[in-house]
Amino acid sequence: MARTFASTPAAHAQSLKDRMAELIPKEIEEVKAVRAAYGNKSFGEYTVDQAYGGMRGIKGLIWEGSVLDADEGIRFRGKTIPECQAELPKAPGGSEPLPEGLFWLLLTGEVPTQEQVQGLSQEWAARAAIPKFVEELIDRCPNTLHPMSQFSLAVTALNHDSAFAKAYSNGVHKKEYWKTTFDDSMDLIAKLPNIAGRIFRNVYGDGKLPAIDANKDYSANLATLLGFGESKEFVDLMRLYITIHSDHEGGNVSAHTGHLVGSALSDPFLSFAASLNGLAGPLHGLANQEVLRWVQKMRAQIGEGASDDKVAEYVWSTLKSGQVVPGYGHAVLRKTDPRYTAQREFALKHLPEDPLFKLVGQIYKIVPDILLEAGKAKNPWPNVDAHSGVLLTYYGLHHQDFYTVLFGVSRAFGVVSQLIWDRALGMPLERPKSYSTAAIKKMFEGK
């Protein structure tokens, strides 16, 4: 059920935590009212095929930050990506929304002021330092250990200083759970650029890391830690990238995993580390590098500036070899992913003549008709992964094994915002019922 908060702007200098403290009692009453009015209503039937098919389409989760419509695409608290781009605050000289504003929106349903996002930038910069033992843990990882494995390892280790774990151990009242969950979540988001930057510099550079600048926004600091901070376009790309990758309702693997683990009252660090392990899978967060490799392999085989016929021939050869066309199709969407469109518009503005971008545009024109003809997809349109790798490569970030780490930094915004609300609303331990194949046969045989 899609629902948004009232759009009344928050007080001018009010902190995010103070605003949450105001909203939570009202939301608790709203949830009580919804359950009283609709608690016995059915979401609809589901089938045995859905149980075997990954629970596709089964309605069984509450996720406040975003809702994904099959035909319309994603909305963050009711706002489309273009609306977020137009309404959320931007950095001076920047053209893309600040992720700080998106986080505020995910938590409150409200568009923050410029002063409020600046306050978040400063607070995250102040919280950004990671413990010495976590630095040493990352530094001791061999360069051959996948960056996502290092990322998950470091986030798990942050549990050492969890405010929620300490408060729970001390017997804090459950109505207060959200407060230390909020504090841990702020710490987590704040520390991710330092962790990601350290991994990147260790694996691909000399291991030397610049300091966080308290006067820069979150994306600018992340770009600087990765070594790309001098490029204003790359910094703006990071703002767009984090915003559009932050949340995609609750049913995807990384979001659902964070919610599931958090329902056991695991702290935000443990919950998000579990999300990262799901995101690392090739059917989820690794998909963007799979797309880039496929596109680069195509270019190497058919040459630069190849005709539409040559591109179509290569696509057909991919399908006939039993492989999928990476970056096309989606479990829910039945249209071009708005996140793809946002990245395409960025590319048209900043790199319209880039050969790899031109090839991606050519593929966009050709692939849907082929997939429809082949009967290979209910949705033949591109998803977010079909574009992001090309943009990162253009600006020099060609380290494909690192792409999912950037996705992970982004996805933290959605996972922890929901986790805070889970604690505020007293959401229970998640425990669906399962059946064996033999039990299903017994259930339906003779009926």
Q: Two tokens at 373? A: 């003809």
Q: What is the dihedral of CA 71, 77, 82, 88, to 10 degrees?
A: -170
Q: Contacts for 419-422 with beta carbons within 8 Å, 24 or more apart?
A: 419/181, 419/185, 419/258, 419/259, 419/262, 419/268, 419/271, 420/20, 420/107, 420/178, 420/181, 420/182, 420/185, 421/27, 421/64, 421/107, 421/178, 422/259, 422/262, 422/263
Partners of 68 in the β-ladder? 74
The question of whether 385 is a catalytic residue gets the answer yes
The question of whether 399 is a catalytic residue gets the answer no
Measured at the CA of 290, the angle between CA 232 and CA 146, to 5 degrees, comes to 80
User: Which one of 187, 330, 337, 387 is the catalytic residue?
Assistant: 330
- Give the Å distances, CA to CA, from 273 to 79, 148, 181, 377, 419: 28, 10, 15, 32, 13
Q: Is the dihedral of CA 385, 389, 395, 398 positive or negative?
A: positive
User: Which one of 284, 350, 398, 399 is the catalytic residue?
Assistant: 284
Helices 403-424, 16-38: crossing angle, 10 deg rounding? 70
CA distance 27 to 20: 10
Helices 385-394, 338-350: crossing angle, 10 deg rounding? 30
User: Which one of 184, 187, 385, 422 is the catalytic residue?
Assistant: 385
Active site residues: 284, 330, 385
